[in-house]
Structure 1
Amino acid sequence: MNGDVLPRIADSELEAWLTAIAEQGHSAPSIAQLRAKRARPGGPDIPVVNDLVIAADGGTRIPVRTYRHDTMNTRATCVYAHGGAFVFGDLDSHDRACRRLAALGGVDVVAVDYRLAPEHPAPAGIDDVRAVLGWLEERVAGEVPIGLAGDSAGALIAFLAACASDVAIDQLLLINPNVDLALSKPSVLTKGEGWGLDARDLEWFVSQWAPTAALRESHALSPLQQPPSTAPMTTIITSEHDPLRDEGLDLVEHLRNAGRLTAHHHLEGMVHGVINLDTISPTARRMGDEFLTDFAEDLNQSRD
C-alpha cells in the first residue's frame, strides 16, 4: 500500500477483502475471465423490471433494463452506465446497484448494456448511451427530470454522452470516475497497488477502449479538457484509496469553478468500486445509500 503509513480503512470487512485480494497475487487481465458470469446477491425488490432492446442508428441494437415503480405513473428517470473498465460489465453486473438507486431514491432507472472494448472501442459506448437518452426523452416527453449516472469507466462514458447529447440532463452522478485516460495523476502511483485496482491493469483497460496514445490524450475523451459549461449539474464521488481519486478531485474543481457542481462526496477510508462493495463492507453500504439517496433527491427536485 504505497505512500501510506498505517492508512485508515473504512471497516474490518473491507480490510479483510483487500487482504484476500493481495494474497491472490497479481495476474494479467483476461477478458474471458472478467466477463465470466458470477453469482451476485440480489437487490431490493422493484415492482416492474423489464428487459428491452432499443434500435439505434446504423442498425445497432442496445439492450436495456428498466426498473419502474409502477406502470401508471412516470417518475424522474435515471439512465445508468455500468462500470467495468470498458471491457466487461453488463445488465446483471450492476443490477443490484440499479435496484438500490430505484428503491432508495424513488426514481425509475434505465440500465444500458453498451458495447464493450476491445471489440467496440470509443466512441461506441458513448454513442449507445446517447441513443438511450434520446429514446428516453421521447418516452417521457419532457414531463419528468432525466438523470444520468455511471461508475468508473461508465462514469466517463456518462459524462461524455451528457456533454454531446441533445437531451437536457437535469443531474449527473459520477461514482469513482475515470476521467484521465493518460493516467497522469499522482494517486495512480500512490494508490495503484494493494487497493483493489492495480495501475498496471488500468493502463491495459484504457488501451483497449482508446487504442492509441493520441486518442487517450485527446480533448474529445477528456472531461478535464472540455468546457465545463457543457456539463450538466454534477455530483461526484471520490474515494480516499482509489488510484483514480486525484483525477476525480480535479474534475470536482473543474466543475465547481464553472458552477456546475451539485455536490462532492469524498469517502474516507474507501476504495474504488464502492457501488458494488455494499455486500462486503457495511461502511460501503452506508456511504452508497447516502449518496444515491442524495442524488435522487436532487434529481427529483431539479425542476421545482
Structure 2
Amino acid sequence: MSPRLDAVLRDTITAAQANALVPLYKLPAAVRRRLAGAPIQIDGNTLDPDVQLLLRIENLLPRTTKTDAATARARFRNLCKLIPGTPAEVQRVTDLTVRGAAGQLGARLYVPAGAGRGLLVFFHGGGWVVGDLDTHDALCRAIAVDAGLRVLSVDYRLAPEAPAPTGAEDAIAAFTWAVDHAEDLGVDPALVAVGGDSAGGNLAAVVAQQTVRRDLPQPALQVLLYPSLDLVARRPSRDLFSDGFILTEEDIIWYRDHYTPDSTLRPDPIVSPLRAEDLTGLPPTYLSTAGFDPLRDEGLEYAEALTAAGNPLTHAHHPSLPHGHANLRTVPGKVQEAHAHLADHLRAALH
C-alpha cells in the first residue's frame, strides 16, 4: 500500500463517524482489491479481500493502549460505529430486565415482523470486559430479522469489576429466566436457544454444559460463533494470527487476566468449557470457526469433542474470515454468506 493511498484512507475515515466505511464497499471490486493491498495467505488460506480492506483501514486508526477497562470499552464502542450499516427493520425492540445471578440485569428483546415461536438468548462478545447491548445491536437486529425469531440480548456483568465466574453465572440465570418466562416473551419454552460470539460464545457453551449438569432447563440449540473455549492451553493458531486480524495475542492475554485474575479458576469448565470431562447429552450445536482467528484451533478441537461425545453438530468453518466477522455484516461477499448460513440454520432449527 502506497503512502498516498494510506493518506487518502486516513483522511476519509474517523473512528467516531458512524458507518464511515460503508461508502468504500460501493466502490468497484477491482478498486477495493487495490486499496486492500497484496493478498494475505497464511496456513493455506487466503484472507477475504473485502475484510482485508477493513483491516487495512482499522490499522490506520489511532491506537489506544488497553491501560484500563473504561478506555478499552470506549474504543470498542467507537470501532463498532464504523460499519454497522443500516439497522435491520425490527417490528419491536423492548428494553427490559432479566434475572441474573445476584439481582437484575439489563436486556433487550428484538421481535421481527412475522416472528415464529423461537427465541435466541444472546450474549455479546468483548472478552468479558468490553461490549454491551449497543455494540451488538446491529447484529441482534440482523439475526432477528433474517432468521425470523426473537432475540433476547443480555447485558451480563463485566470484568474486572465482576470477575469469573460472575459472567457465567449471570448467563445461566438469564437463560433459565427466559425459559421460565417464555410465554410472557411470546415464545415456546421448547424453542429457546442460547448463543453468543467470542466471549459470549464461551458463556453460551457454559450455559449448555451447566444446564445439563445442574438439571436445569436446557437450550434447544447452542450457537457458538468463534468462541473462546480454553483459557489455559495455547494452540498453533494463536501464533499464526497473533496480530493484525482484529483479535490479537495481546488482547487475549489482557482479557483473560481481567476475567480470571485467579488463575486457579482457568482450568474449570465454568470458564474453559473445552476442558469439561463429560460432553455427553448436550443440545444440538451450531459452531462457527474462522480461518484467520487465533481461537480457530480450540474451536476445531471442540467440534471434534462434541462429535465424539455423540452430540449433533453443524460446523460452519469460514477459511477466509477473521475473528469477529459476525459484527462486520455489511462487508460484502464471504461475511454476508456466513451471516446467511447462520440465519438459515436458526430459521430451520427454531421454527
Q: Answer yes or no: same fold by TM over 0.5.
A: yes
In 2, Cα distance between the equivalents of 1:191 and 1:296?
A: 33
Query: What is the percent sequence identity of the aligned residues?
Result: 29
Q: 2:197 aligns with which of 145, 148, 151?
A: 151
Q: 1:52 aligns with which of 83, 96, 110?
A: 96
Alpha-carbon shift at residue 271 of structure 1 (Å) = 0.3
Residues 103 and 242 of structure 1: CA distance in aligned 2, closer, same or farther (over 3 Å) = same
Alpha-carbon shift at residue 83 of structure 1 (Å) = 0.4
Is the contact made by 2:100 and 2:169 (CA closer than 8 Å) also made in structure 1? no
1:229 partner SS: coil
2:121 partner SS: strand
In 2, Cα distance between the equivalents of 1:177 and 1:289?
A: 19
- Bigger shift: residues 36-45 or 271-280: 36-45
2:132 partner SS: coil
In 1, Cα distance between the equivalents of 2:88 and 2:109?
A: 14
1:137 maps to: 179
1:161 maps to: 207
In 2, Cα distance between the equivalents of 1:296 and 1:181?
A: 32
- Bigger shift: residues 170-179 or 137-146: 137-146
2:160 maps to: 118
In 2, Cα distance between the equivalents of 1:114 and 1:52?
A: 13
Is the contact made by 1:122 and 1:210 (CA closer than 8 Å) also made in structure 2? yes
1:67 partner SS: strand
Is the contact made by 1:28 and 1:201 (CA closer than 8 Å) also made in structure 2? no
Tell me the TM-score normalized by structure 2. 0.78
- Count of residues in correspondence between the two structures: 297
Alignment partner of 1:258 is 2:300: no
Residue by residue over 1:197-219, the C-alpha shift from the partner in whole angstroms, topping out at 9 and shown as x without a partner, is 11011111111111132222234
In 2, Cα distance between the equivalents of 1:293 and 1:119?
A: 37
Residues 7 and 125 of structure 1: CA distance in aligned 2, closer, same or farther (over 3 Å) = same
In 2, Cα distance between the equivalents of 1:137 and 1:128?
A: 14
Q: 1:234 aligns with which of 285, 289, 308?
A: 285
1:221 partner SS: coil
2:181 partner SS: helix
- Bigger shift: residues 251-260 or 276-285: 276-285
2:104 maps to: 61
In 2, Cα distance between the equivalents of 1:99 and 1:15?
A: 25
- Bigger shift: residues 87-96 or 273-282: 273-282
Amino acid at match of 2:229: V
Q: 2:130 aligns with which of 65, 73, 88?
A: 88
Is the contact made by 1:78 and 1:149 (CA closer than 8 Å) also made in structure 2? yes
Is the contact made by 1:74 and 1:144 (CA closer than 8 Å) also made in structure 2? no
Is the contact made by 1:2 and 1:191 (CA closer than 8 Å) also made in structure 2? no
Residues 2 and 103 of structure 1: CA distance in aligned 2, closer, same or farther (over 3 Å) = closer
Any gaps of 5 or more consecutive residues in structure 1? Answer: none
Amino acid at match of 2:205: F
1:8 maps to: 46
Tell me the TM-score normalized by structure 1. 0.89
Residue by residue over 1:217-264, the C-alpha shift from the partner in whole angstroms, topping out at 9 and shown as x without a partner, is 234322222111153211100000000000000000000111213200
Residues 14 and 81 of structure 1: CA distance in aligned 2, closer, same or farther (over 3 Å) = same
Query: 5 Å matches for 1:87-106?
Result: 87-106=129-148
2:56 maps to: 19
In 1, Cα distance between the equivalents of 2:85 and 2:191?
A: 30
Residue by residue over 1:146-181, the C-alpha shift from the partner in whole angstroms, topping out at 9 and shown as x without a partner, is 111100000001111222121221111100110011
Alpha-carbon shift at residue 21 of structure 1 (Å) = 3.3
Residue by residue over 1:123-166, the C-alpha shift from the partner in whole angstroms, topping out at 9 and shown as x without a partner, is 11112222222221122255541111100000001111222121
Residue by residue over 1:5-44, the C-alpha shift from the partner in whole angstroms, topping out at 9 and shown as x without a partner, is 785111x321112223344586532422332243354421
Residue by residue over 1:53-87, the C-alpha shift from the partner in whole angstroms, topping out at 9 and shown as x without a partner, is 124453x220010012369x861111000001110
Alpha-carbon shift at residue 281 of structure 1 (Å) = 4.3
